[in-house]
Amino acid sequence: MGKVTLSIYMEEEDKEALQQLADAEERSLSQMAVLILKRAIRQAQADGTISPPGKQK
């Protein structure tokens, strides 16, 4: 599956905190955002909130 572009709007202080996290892990801002989103998706799948890929609820 190919990558897509996603634009988001967030509070400046949240962006600054995200940048601090990215800097601490030596990642780009984009890489850090993707990592956090992937973690949230995996957790939601594990909790049963959303279906895993290929499985409809």
The 10s digit of each residue's pLDDT in 4-57 is 999 999 999 999 999 999 999 999 999 999 999 999 999 999 999 999 887 765
pLDDT of residue 32: 98
pLDDT of residue 52: 86
pLDDT of residue 57: 58
The structure's pTM equals 0.83
- In this structure, what is the dihedral angle of CA atoms 43, 9, 7, 13, given to the nearest 10 degrees? -70
Other CB atoms within 10 A of residue 32 CB:
19
Other CB atoms within 10 A of residue 23 CB:
12
Secondary structure of 18-49 in HEC code, one letter for each residue: HHHHHHHCCCCHHHHHHHHHHHHHHHHHHHCC
